[in-house]
Structure formats: structure tokens, C-alpha cells
């Protein structure tokens, strides 16, 4: 049972490289887009590394980042 929960948690985490996310404004725009698309999802952004990690559906997250004007690449 615990193993299946851990597998589920991993499958619900999406990580992206977003090279065109370069400043604080970009970070806020991506965070806002993800909050709107995946309410309550945990979002972690490392601006220096240009990475985004989000709990939730990867397709929904990717679409939200693109809609905000950025180019996510799933890692």
C-alpha cells in the first residue's frame, strides 16, 4: 500500500526546465498560472536554475506555463 502511494506521488509531480523564465516577474507569472490551473498544488521555482516543480497533472501544468507565455521542457 505504501509503495503504491509513493508511486502515485511521483507520477503526480512534474518538473520542467523553463529557460525563458529569467526574472522575478517571470517567476510570479508562472506561479500565478500554475495556481490558477492547479489550485492548491505545491509549486517550487528555482529561478537561477530555470526550473519549475509542481504537484499535479504534467499536461495541465505544461499548458498553463505555455499559456503564460513561457516555453517549458519536461525533465
pLDDT in the model for residue 27: 98
Beta strands 13-17 and 43-46, pairing class: unpaired
pLDDT band at 9 (very low <50, low <70, confident <90, very high): very low
Residue 2 has pLDDT above 90, yes or no: no
Are the CB atoms for 59 and 14 separated by under 8 Å?
no
As a whole number of angstroms, the distance between CA 38 and CA 43 comes to: 10
The pTM of the full predicted model, rounded to 2 decimals, is 0.84
Are the CB atoms for 61 and 14 separated by under 8 Å?
yes
| Domains in the chain: boundaries | 2-74
- Torsions phi, psi for 39 (to 5 deg): -55, 130
pLDDT digits (tens, 9 = 90+) for 24-67: 999 999 999 999 999 999 999 999 999 999 999 999 999 999 99
pLDDT in the model for residue 11: 52
Which top CATH class is 2-74? alpha beta
Amino acid at each position: 500500500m505504501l509503495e503504491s502511494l509513493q508511486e502515485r506521488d511521483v507520477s503526480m509531480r512534474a518538473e520542467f526546465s523553463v529557460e525563458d523564465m529569467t526574472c522575478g516577474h517571470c517567476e510570479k507569472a508562472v506561479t500565478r498560472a500554475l495556481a490558477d490551473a492547479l489550485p492548491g498544488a505545491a509549486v517550487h521555482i528555482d529561478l537561477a536554475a530555470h526550473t519549475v516543480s509542481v504537484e499535479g497533472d504534467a499536461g495541465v501544468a505544461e499548458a498553463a506555463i505555455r499559456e503564460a507565455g513561457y516555453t517549458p521542457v519536461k525533465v
